[in-house]
Amino acid sequence: MARHIMLAVRRIIPDGPDTNRLVLQDPDGWPLPKWKPGAHLDLQVPGIGPRAYSLCGDPATQESWEIAVRCEVNSRGGSSWVHDVLRQGDVVAVTMPRCTFPIAAEASRHVMIAGGIGVTPFLAMAHEFERRGVAWTLHLLARGGPPCGLALAGLAQSGRIRTHDTARQARPRWDELLDGGPTVGLHAYCCGPQAMLDGFAEATRDWPRGTTSIEHFVPPPLPAAEGAMQYTLRRSVTGAEMEVEAGGSMLKALRMLGAQVDASCEGGICGACEVRWLEGEPIHRDRVLSPERRRTHLLACVAQCASDRLVVEA
Amino acid sequence: MTETLASPIDVEAGASHRSTWTGTVAHLHVTARAFLPMRSQESVELVAGCGIVGDRYMLGIEQGFYSEKPEEGRQVTLFESEVLEAIGRDYKMELLPEEHRRNITTTGVPLNWLVGKRFRIGSCLVEATRLSIPCRHIEEILQKQVFDAMVHRSGLNCRILVGGTVRLGDEIRPE
C-alpha cells in the first residue's frame, strides 16, 4: 500500500471561485523533499481513497508544498471533503510527489494552455521557467474569475500570462493559443477538461513527435490491447505465481499474490502503480511512461501481456 | 601462483589487534522521518542502545521520530565517501553526501570488512551488525536512478555500545 507522509495543513487560502489553495508542511517544520514541476501527489481522503492533485507552488521552496482544489459540483467526495471538512491545523496523509507531466528540457520556448483548475501544474512550471530564463507563455481559459488568481499574481510581473474569460469573450482559436507552432524549439502543454484536451490533440496532430504534452484530469478510454494473452504472472521477490486472463487486471493479480502495490487513478495516468518488470513482453496502455521508461517499468493498472510469462519486481 | 585476499584488518598473522586502517568522519547527517531530506550537522549525539538524537533510527523514546522499519541493529549508519566517488566514476552520476541517507560519511574506512566487528568513532564505540542494503525508496525521494549504483556498497548498520558526541573530523579506528 502507499507509504503516506503526514503533513499539517498550515494555511487554507481561498483563491478564486470555489477554489482553496492548501499550504502543507511537515508538522515539525522540517524541509520537505524536492519535487519536479508538473508533479502531483495523492491526498488520502478518509473513507474515500486517494485523490490526485498537482503541486502548484514554487518547486524551489522546500518549506511547504501547495495544492489547489476546486469544489466540483459533481464531486466524487475528494473536493467536497477538502472544502467542507478540512481545516487549518489538520494533519493529512499524502504520497510522495510523482511527475508524469515533466518540463520538456530540450525546448527553448514553452506554451502552456490551461482550462480552469488545470492551471495548477503550470504555476509550478512557470516558476521554473522564470528561474531558467527560458521563454514561456501561459494561457488560462476560465469562465468568470480565474482559479488561483493570488498565486498567478506572483508571476504577473513576468508579463507572460494571458487570461481568457470565456464567459465574456469568444474562446481563442487554437492557432492563436499555440503561438504559431509548430516551430523549432517550441513545446506545447495542455491541462484541462477532456473537451479541451481533445481540441489540443486535434490542433497539434501534425506537430513533431515529442513536442506536445497532455495532463489528464480523469483517465481517458484505454487503447486496445492487441496481442494480449493469458499469462503466468510471477513476483520476483517471493516467487509466487498465478495465471492472469487476457484483459485481466495485473494490479489485482499482484495484490492477490500479496504484493503491496500503490494505486490511485487505476486508468494509466497517475503512475502510482508503477512496477519494474524483469522478463516477458508487457503491453503498455498508460499515458505517462516514456519509451525509455517502458523498457524497464510498467503501470500495473492498465498493462497487459503478450507473452506467456511475465516477471515483475514486487 | 596463489594469492590470499587479505583483510584490511589483522593482516599480519599473530597481530590480532593491529590494523591497516584509520579513517575520519567526513560528513554527518540526520533526518526526522524516513522521507525527509537529510540535514547536515557539525556534530551528533550518539545514545548507547538507542540511536542518534533527532534521527529517525532513534529507538523508542523520541515521540514523532521514526523509521518505517525500526531495527535494533541499525542505530547509526555509515557510508564511504569513496563510494560516492566511485558512483560518479562508474555511473557518471553525482550522489551527494546528504543523498545516500546514511548518518556518517566516512573517509578511509573499509566498511564492507567490518560486519561483526567493533570500532571507535571519536570516543564512541559501535558494533557493526550488517551491511546496509539499498531501497527503491531512495529513488523516489531523490528522483535519481541510484539503486543499481548502490548495490553491494550501500554502507553499514551499527549498534551503539558507548555513546557520546561525534564531530566532523573525528578519527575512526578499530577497537
Residue B39 forms contact with A (CB below 8 Å): yes
Segment A157-177, tens digit of pLDDT? 999 999 999 999 999 999 999
Residue B162 forms contact with A (CB below 8 Å): no
Of B36, B68, B140, the CB nearest to A26: B36
Contacts of A154 (CB under 8 A, 6+ apart): none
Q: Kindly identify which residue of chain B lies nearest to residue A25, measuring between CA atoms.
A: B36
Q: Which helix (H) or strand (E) holds A254?
A: helix A250-256
CB A144 within 8 A of CB A221: no
Q: Kindly identify which residue of chain A lies nearest to residue B99, measuring between CA atoms.
A: A33
Pairing of strands A186-191, A109-115: parallel
Residue B148 forms contact with A (CB below 8 Å): no
Contacts of A234 (CB under 8 A, 6+ apart): A240, A241, A309, A310, A311, A312
CB contact under 8 Å between A28 and B32, yes or no, is yes
**Which of the four pLDDT bands, split at 50, 70 and 90, describes residue B19?**
low
CB contact under 8 Å between A30 and B33, yes or no, is yes
Nearest-CA distance B63 → chain A (Å): 11
Instruction: Look up residue B41 and give its three cell numbers.
Output: 550537522
pTM of the model: 0.82
Between CA B56 and CA A85 the distance in angstroms is: 31
Q: How far is CA A66 from CA A55, A142, B23, B131, in A?
A: 6, 21, 44, 38
Of B34, B64, B68, the CB nearest to A28: B64
Q: How far is CA B96 from CA A166, B56, B142, in A?
A: 49, 20, 10
**Which of the four pLDDT bands, split at 50, 70 and 90, describes residue B59?**
low
Average pLDDT over residues A183-203: 96
pLDDT at B14: 46
Nearest-CA distance B111 → chain A (Å): 27
Nearest-CA distance A96 → chain B (Å): 7
Residues of chain A with a CB closer than 8 angstroms to some CB in chain B: 3, 5, 26-28, 30-36, 62, 96, 99
Q: Say which CATH topology domain A109-215 has.
A: Rossmann fold (3.40.50)
**pLDDT of B9 above 90:** no
CB contact under 8 Å between B37 and A28, yes or no, is no
Pairing of strands A109-115, A135-142: parallel
Q: Kindly identify which residue of chain A lies nearest to residue B143, measuring between CA atoms.
A: A35
Q: Say which CATH topology domain A231-313 has.
A: Ubiquitin-like (UB roll) (3.10.20)
Mean pLDDT, all residues of chain A: 94
Please name the residue that has the C-alpha cell 510498467.
Answer: A298
Beta bridge partners of A311: A234, A279
pLDDT at B13: 46
CB contact under 8 Å between A3 and B137, yes or no, is yes
Instruction: Look up residue A226 and give its three cell numbers.
Output: 492487441
- The ranges assigned to domains in chain A are 5-97, 109-215, 231-313
Listed in order, strand segments (DSSP E) in B48-163 are 51-52, 76-80, 104-107, 118-121, 124-131, 156-162
CA-CA-CA-CA dihedral for B49, B52, B58, B60, to nearest 10:
60
pLDDT at A262: 86
Instruction: Look up residue B79 and give its three cell numbers.
Output: 557510508
Q: Which residues of A touch B68 (CB under 8 A)?
A: 3
Q: Is the peptide bond before A182 cis (omega within 30 degrees of 0)?
A: yes
Q: Which residues of A touch B143 (CB under 8 A)?
A: 34-36, 99
pLDDT at B60: 58
CB contact under 8 Å between B31 and A30, yes or no, is yes
Average pLDDT over residues A176-199: 95
Q: Which residues of A touch B34 (CB under 8 A)?
A: 3
Q: How many Cβ pairs within 8 Å bridge chains A and B?
A: 36
Mutation target to probe the B interface, by most B beta carbons within 10 A, among A96, A99, A100, A275 is A96
Q: How far is CA A103 from CA A115, A161, A209, in A?
A: 18, 18, 15
What are the structural domains of chain B? 23-111+135-174 (2.40.33.20)
Is A272 or B13 the better-scoring residue by pLDDT? A272
| Cα B84 to chain centroid, rounded | 13
Amino acid at site A108: S
Residue B61 forms contact with A (CB below 8 Å): no
CB contact under 8 Å between B141 and A62, yes or no, is no
Least confident span in A200-209, A263-272, B15-24, B45-54: B15-24
Beta bridge partners of B52: B46
Q: Say which CATH topology domain A5-97 has.
A: Elongation Factor Tu (Ef-tu); domain 3 (2.40.30)
Question: In sequence order, what DSSP letters do the residues of A38-68 get, joined into one string?
Answer: TEEEEEEETTTEEEEEEB-S-TT--S-EEEE
Mean pLDDT, all residues of chain B: 86
Between CA A148 and CA A66 the distance in angstroms is: 11
Q: Which residues of A touch B37 (CB under 8 A)?
A: 30-34, 62
Segment B84-135, tens digit of pLDDT? 999 999 999 999 999 999 999 999 999 999 999 999 999 999 999 999 988 8
CB contact under 8 Å between A96 and B141, yes or no, is yes
Between CA B172 and CA A86 the distance in angstroms is: 51
ipTM of the prediction: 0.72
CB A264 within 8 A of CB A270: yes
Between CA B24 and CA B40 the distance in angstroms is: 16
